[in-house]
Amino acid sequence: MDKQISQVDGCDFTTEELQQFHRYYKYTWPEHLTNSPLASKIKHFALEEPTVDTARLCRWLRTMGIQDEDEQTAEQQLYSRFESFDFTTAPGFNEFLTKVYLPTTGKTSKHDIEERMERAKIEYYNERVEKIDYDEYKRFKEQTKPKPVCPYQHLWEKEKEDTANNSQFEHVRVIDLADYLDDNLTVNALDRINGEVEEAEDPRYYALAIIRTLKKDSDENVVFLPALDNKTPEQTLAALRSCLRLEIALRKLNATKPVVVFANGSVDPTALGLMRATTETVLSDNFSLEPAAAQFPTAIFSWAHIAREEEVSLGTAEYVLCHPNTVLRGSEWQGALGLGRGFIGHRNFAKATERILLAASCPPPLTRSALRQACLVESAYPGPCKISVWKQEIAQYFALLAQDNAGDANNGTTVTAFEQLSDLLKDLKDTGKPWADRYAEFAESAEQMKKRAIWVAALQAARKMEYSQALALEYSIAKAILSGDFDSAESASELVHKSACNGPSIADILSISEPVSDSEPNALQVEIPGECPFAKMYRKNPEQFRHIDLKSISDHRPLNLGK
């Protein structure tokens, strides 16, 4: 172990010494030593590592740019005070962020943003704390840049990135899903997260951010949002109710302050509605979604209305959902469906998240604009969008699935979702093309045919509903499927029709008692963004409107909830 690391120029420390020094770097200091001078820390560390040469350790620390305050020059002490200054809690500093994240020109490079951020900090510090010159500071930092003489340095830099403390953004409520989730989304976990969302309503928070700390950045199979608790049908339904309650709370909050979701990993379809509660979604290249894996239709309101955007063709949702093994990644999610605010490589995700959260610290009314500008600056090209290539085929074959299936007004017949799918399969087979044959694979399994039929019927119904009605339909369909009431693809349209006409309202669904926390909100008092005024009055006082047929007023135009 005494062999020198000769492959690193200028390094005369032994492997054993470097390992000791690395242990010093990652050592967890007792609370009373956290802000102690360097000499006190070294003395304490020597008690834990009796074989360490403290003189050599001090020399190594100086090599890495770490010195005791007594050894620093006046210039070094000035810059150390500047770098340790807490700008996140500094009064009035957030006003400087508008200069950084709201540039006058449309195009701004990442380097330009970082430089202007640094200038804003120095401008603030120079005016309100003590004098400091930007050019002199840059010159000093370049001259005193740590020398790469230790082969463990890349490990330290990695640890610095992994241990970024998101709690430093005191004006942004950060929910780290890793603190709540183990495997599935349980009622308890969802209600705890809902409590965090309620806290984010406090005026001291300008925004809410949902992240997931990943233990292995290189793991491409990381899960951002797992499936709902699915041990039994009852547990799945209980988790679904909590999920819908949380989705409503997120949409309500997003109407008053930004809710940004940093999705770095795979998302189970049953949890998709939580991500769709906001348009401020930042994706990594680890993002993935497999719609066909859903037990039952989910987030049907969002899927049904993606075609409202001009660049999204009618039938795109059906095109995605009818493929037997579609995997949606960042390029499709952002490019074809328009459902992402930005795309960032997962290797840069931690640092980019930190910079976007800093932008979200910009005070209202500029918070959302600053956040979106930061997302724009941090974003990279997500790659080619495969769905966009098939726009002609989508319009020709799949747009028919999105049409109203009310039937022929002349003879009173009704075209069911199953019949529409059967016609699509016939048209696809007649093309004789490989891509069409791949799509037709879902018809080879009766179970897969049932799934596609229920999706088509659910989307057709959701397009004529406002948000709260679509949520109630989603729950009723899930309950029917889990209870085994859904027998075949032929009965898909009938099941959706019965669920829409005879199913409970979202208020009744959310008020179902279940063993959860005492702080559970009264479902009848939940405000639902996008709900029509009449539906809101009915939900709060149903007895007053029992004589009115609600189904006759179901054509209210849905609002754009993302803005």
Residue 307 CB partners (closer than 8 Å, separation 6+): 313, 314, 315, 316, 317, 402
Residue 403 CB partners (closer than 8 Å, separation 6+): 460
pLDDT at position 3 is 42
Check whether 366 has a pLDDT greater than 50: yes
pLDDT at position 185 is 92
Judged by average pLDDT, the poorest of 47-56, 264-273, 407-416, 522-531 is 522-531
pLDDT at position 97 is 67
Max mean pLDDT range (6-20, 180-194, 407-421): 180-194
pLDDT at position 134 is 87
Interval 377-416: pLDDT, tens = 898 888 888 888 888 899 899 998 988 655 443 444 578 9
Interval 21-65: pLDDT, tens = 888 877 888 878 877 778 888 888 888 888 888 888 888 887 776
pLDDT at position 337 is 82
Overall average pLDDT of the 517-545 stretch:
49
| 3 state SS of 344 | strand
Q: What sign does the dihedral 497-499-501-507 (CA atoms) show?
A: negative
| 3 state SS of 280 | strand
Check whether 531 has a pLDDT greater than 70: no
What amino acid occupies position 222? Answer: V
Task: Name the packing angle between helices 417-431 and 446-462 (round to 10°).
Answer: 120
pLDDT at position 409 is 38
Overall average pLDDT of the 223-237 stretch:
92
Overall average pLDDT of the 165-171 stretch:
66
Confidence at 12, pLDDT banded by 50, 70, 90? confident
Confidence at 365, pLDDT banded by 50, 70, 90? confident
- Which residue from 276, 369, 287 is spatially nearest to 327, judged by alpha carbons? 287
User: Which DSSP letter does residue 207 get?
Assistant: E
Check whether 554 has a pLDDT greater than 60: no
Q: Specify the DSSP element, H or E, that contains 41.
A: helix 38-48
What percent of the chain is predicted at pLDDT more than 90? 27
Long-range (24+ apart) CB contacts under 8 A made by 227-230 are 227/184, 227/185, 227/268, 227/270, 227/271, 228/184, 228/185, 228/268, 228/270, 228/271, 229/184, 229/185, 229/186, 229/187, 230/184, 230/295
- Which residue from 325, 273, 339 is spatially nearest to 451, judged by alpha carbons? 325
Return the higher-pLDDT residue of 511 and 541. Answer: 511
Judged by average pLDDT, the poorest of 48-57, 140-149, 491-500 is 140-149
CA 107 to chain centre: 25
Length in residues, the chain: 563
Return the higher-pLDDT residue of 273 and 99. Answer: 273
pLDDT at position 523 is 31
Return the higher-pLDDT residue of 80 and 105. Answer: 80
**Residue 147 CA: distances (Å) to CA of 27, 55, 141:** 22, 19, 12
What's the Rg (C-alpha) of the chain? 28
pLDDT at position 488 is 79
pLDDT at position 376 is 87
**Residue 230 CA: distances (Å) to CA of 185, 270, 282, 288, 309:** 9, 11, 28, 21, 34
- Which residue from 507, 504, 536, 521 is spatially nearest to 190, judged by alpha carbons? 521
pLDDT at position 70 is 61
Question: What are residue 261's DSSP bridge partners?
Answer: 210, 281
Q: How far apart are CA 493 and CA 461, in angstroms?
A: 9
Q: Are 268 and 242 in contact (CB under 8 A)?
A: no
Judged by average pLDDT, the poorest of 166-170, 497-501, 508-512 is 166-170
| 3 state SS of 108 | coil
Q: How far apart are CA 273 and CA 471, in angstroms?
A: 10
pLDDT at position 423 is 92
pLDDT at position 308 is 52
pLDDT at position 559 is 38
pLDDT at position 115 is 77
Max mean pLDDT range (9-13, 17-21, 192-196): 192-196
Question: What are residue 207's DSSP bridge partners?
Answer: 172
Return the higher-pLDDT residue of 543 and 55. Answer: 55
Q: How far apart are CA 29 and CA 45, in angstroms?
A: 9
Residue 365 CB partners (closer than 8 Å, separation 6+): none
Interval 85-126: pLDDT, tens = 887 777 877 766 666 655 555 555 556 667 777 888 888 888
Check whether 281 has a pLDDT greater than 90: yes
pLDDT at position 283 is 94
Judged by average pLDDT, the poorest of 4-13, 126-135, 282-291 is 4-13
Q: Are 213 and 176 in contact (CB under 8 A)?
A: yes
pLDDT at position 524 is 33
pTM above 0.85, yes or no: no
Using the structure block, give the residue that is written with the tokens 């039938």. 315
pLDDT at position 402 is 87
| 3 state SS of 4 | strand
Find the Cα–Cα–Cα–Cα dihedral 88, 89, 93, 99, rounded to 10°.
20
As a whole number, the mean pLDDT across the chain is: 79
Residue 519 CB partners (closer than 8 Å, separation 6+): 191, 195
Check whether 240 has a pLDDT greater than 80: yes
**Tokens in use for 56?**
């050599």
- Which residue from 310, 263, 268, 306 is spatially nearest to 282, judged by alpha carbons? 263
Check whether 227 has a pLDDT greater than 90: yes
**Residue 158 CA: distances (Å) to CA of 152, 163, 294, 547:** 10, 9, 36, 65
Confidence at 526, pLDDT banded by 50, 70, 90? very low
